[in-house]
Amino acid sequence: MFERGKKDGPEGYSNEAAPGNSPQWAGNAPKSQSSGNPGSQGAAVIGRSIRIDGDLQGEEDLRIEGDVNGKIQLRNSTLTIGSEGKVRASVYAKSVAVDGYVEGDVFGAENIIVRKNAQVQGNMTAPRVSLEDGAKFKGSIEMDPDAVNAAMGGAAKTPSKPTPVEKTAASNDKVIAASEAAARKAR
């Protein structure tokens, strides 16, 4: 559906057209990227010159560096909103990582990561929410496992009771897992 990023580069995405018949949407995706976005390597890319108004659905990982207004549903995949990305939408994905700007409610069946340069305005619902120091956030974070599970239609991997969080390190930045429940269950 989207341009497939190069898999051989460390950035995991490209500004080159996709092979085959894939639409050539991405244009000027930046080469720089913060490290450690799970699932961003090989993800489809919406480049920074692209603007989309409407609903996006898919079954593959997606990286957004452009503007998207509407609704995004990647229920079994990872969505990365890159440093150039501007999303004004309701977002549903298995996993969401935000480096750029988001205005809207964000649902992650597994987790949401808000990186230090991100700006998020809206409500976040996920079994595990991480926010790096420096990130700008205004809205609510749902931490009640029962409420998370209900919001995710039972898809969230949450226990019936909350458990204390643990501190983890990622990309030399302190990241606090707001709820490690899903991770613990997965172990």
Partner 1 sequence: MPEAFNAPLFRKAVEQLDQERRCVVLDLGAAHTDTIALFSEYRCRLEIADIADGLGSLAEITDDLEQRAEALLPRAQQEPADLVLCWDLLNYLSLPAIRALSKRLSARGRPGMQLHCLIVYAATNMPVTPCPFIPQPDRSLLQLAADPNEIQAPRYSPEALGDALLGYTVDRAMLLGNGMQEFLFRL
* Shortest distance in whole angstroms from residue 120 CB to partner 1: 9
Nearer to partner 1, 32 or 169 (CB): 169
Burial of residue 154, with CB atoms counted within 10 A of its CB: 0-12 exposed, 13-18 middle, 19 or more buried: exposed
Q: For the CB of residue 71, give the shortest distance to partner 1 in the complex, in Å.
A: 18
In whole angstroms, how close is the CB of 136 to partner 1 at the nearest point? 7
Query: Which of residues 167 and 187 has its CB atom nearest to partner 1 in the complex?
Result: 167
Q: Which residues would be at the binding site for partner 1 (CB under 8 A)? A: 123, 129-133, 135-147, 161-162, 164-165, 167, 174-179
Q: Which is nearer to partner 1, 16 or 144 (CB)?
A: 144
Give me the least distance between CB of 110 and partner 1, in Å please.
Answer: 16
Residues 6 or more apart whose CB falls under 8 angstroms from that of 154 comprise none
Pick 1 or 147: Cβ nearer partner 1: 147
